[in-house]
A and B are shown apart, each in its own frame.
Chain A
């Protein structure tokens, strides 16, 4: 049993990250608890208190006690906790120690000095149980996000812990990989493991979880059963900042389209990486300004290649004609802008204001402040860009693009790991860009985002356009079918 007794924690030296206050929580053996709430509500902190990262990795002020089977977690060194509690993290790419899958599966057992035969036995049974055979013997740099997350789960599983702690494990996964993740969690539950998941996406876990704990501002604000959450009125749920609890379409979209109707035409839009087969092959396609186009498709369908070619990051990729003017690589770099998945890569200066000024041909502070105000960043003008939260960084990246008078925007998974409120904010910004007559491409797996701001869908498959349709009623159904099919797809 895991027992939180009046636990409060605040992180040392970092006021931006929120701790927790007066947490009282008992989790019985074999229970599956889903922690939900807005970003910064403290759900991640709760997971860290269970797996011992607090206080052994994150220093700070800890009051109260967290006990596992009567022992204080803070008294047990991390390598002992590792035997009983397994952890899976948000970003699949950054939790690997090895570079090949086989060694990664054995990594935990090796660290704890188990015998060779024992390790082999455990790895083999994990592989069989989780159907990892196709992933064996691969380099982790060749795996998709979903495959990496599977290996991460497998590596933890080989330690046979009784408790599993998952911190936003679905953030960077597509629909099909999320289904796989769900199966893994279901399986663990069947084996009687105690499972604690902190998550924004609720739909895939709602019927797995025994209890759903809702947190806000570091405090446990309520507890629900799955039925209660599913039957909760949309209004109330949105106010709580929670994402949709079931996989469904919720509201009609608006098809409002603005802009002067400039055309963006692609011709012979092909590209292949060195020595690889063609990653992109679009004989011709046409888009209009003032549209938000959702770019969907499975892993490796060519979505990011498409984005890179549009933005001029790849040379010799065919013809891009914007409003009757052919744009070469250099012009594309000037006209287009990609908001990257990790926006930390595209912020260079030492303050939010400087970041916007940097983008301007002629530095104009007044204009910069106006842009920042519109994107809700005015109160942060002196902050260091890298210290902002994920959503704020994203908005700053957009602000800098607006300052540079960019016309075509490409967003790469802008809502991965965002809660409902922040997803809405992104959608609002996309709508605003659309109203300004910009052309926007959004690479995304997030059906809620598509629903709330996109006007068109571009579906890629093996580098080709599989389908392109406006999001009217028919389009809506098509989109929903696409995601439902992907959900059922077994990898």
Chain B
């Protein structure tokens, strides 16, 4: 996943969406699927919304991931409907909670994954600018996207180093495991962060002028489709309430 993090290489074909549309989709799924807005009356709506990330994954060439998602989602979904009336007791409660949680979390998570793997930092910044979000939020947020894979890489390298020294849950020094893991990670990441700052500052980041963004973003046909679906969902839920 790291290699396609925040890159356009991640999406060459399929529905090319404006970053704002993707954010809207995350919002919708967060409110209706995860948040459960609209209650039981809208239960049919959730699978429909959850279907959109599947379409996006498959059309952008991530067929395997799309299938996996569809399989996981439908398993959990049907587990709730079909299996549960048959089972009683703690076991059933546990499965119910788990599958319920999965059904709620998975679509949002997958959409977020799609967002970060198909949007470049620059597109993201352009989108934020169009939404009039101030630089003070936009710049740190884009650093977050840029820096996350780096910190993960550091964490992996430290994990490797620990293996070679026999430190681990099944190895030695269990008590200090956490300390050993995070101290080098914080130290190394902080140093890399310093380098990143220097390189950005010597190229004028933070200048008191309005930042240009040469990235071309804009709404297209598919954006319109998704936005229409979202509007329908909102209207529907209001009408039901």
Contact = CB atoms under 8 A, between A and B. Distances in A.
Q: Do A and B bind each other?
A: yes
Contacts of A26: none
B6 interface: yes
Interface stretch (A8-16, A212-220, A283-291, A334-342): A334-342
A94 B195 contact: yes
B228 interface: no
Nearest to B157: A345
A116 B161 contact: no
A223 B239 CA distance: 82
Contact of A404 (B122, B154, B165): B165
Nearest to A112: B204
B180 A82 contact: no
Given A96-B146, A142-B3, A83 B204 contact: yes
A366 to B, nearest CB: 21
B88 interface: no
A312 B160 CA distance: 10
Interface string B174-210: 0010011001100110011001111111111111111
B212 A114 contact: yes
A100 B122 contact: yes
A399 to B, nearest CB: 12
A86 B164 contact: no
Interface string A143-182: 0000000001001100100000000000000000000000
A225 interface: no
A400 B167 CA distance: 13
Chain A interface category by residue count: 35 or more
Contacts of B210: 113
Interface stretch (A49-57, A259-267, A293-301, A444-452): A49-57
B199 A89 contact: yes
B229 to A, nearest CB: 29
B158 to A, nearest CB: 5
A134 to B, nearest CB: 14
B8 interface: yes
Contact of A137 (B8, B163, B215): B8
Given A107-B203, A156-B203, A386-B187, A99 B211 contact: no
B212 A110 contact: yes
Contact of B165 (A113, A308, A358): A358
Contact of A100 (B7, B149, B158, B203): B7
A11 to B, nearest CB: 13
A52 B203 CA distance: 11
A443 interface: no
A482 interface: no
B199 to A, nearest CB: 3
A345 B146 contact: no
Interface of A: 51-53, 56-57, 78-83, 85-87, 89, 91, 93-100, 102-103, 106-116, 119-120, 123, 137-142, 152, 155-156, 159, 308, 311-313, 333-334, 336-338, 340, 342, 344-349, 358-359, 386, 400, 404
9 contacts: A79-B204, A95-B195, A97-B200, A99-B146, A110-B213, A113-B211, A141-B2, A340-B160, A348-B165
Interface of B: 2-10, 120-122, 142-143, 145-146, 149-150, 154, 157-158, 160-167, 173, 176, 179-180, 183-184, 187-188, 191-192, 195-215
Q: 3 nearest interchain CB pairs? A: A139-B7, A103-B122, A95-B199
Given A97-B143, A100-B9, A345-B188, 6 more contacts: A79-B201, A94-B199, A98-B120, A111-B205, A312-B163, A338-B164
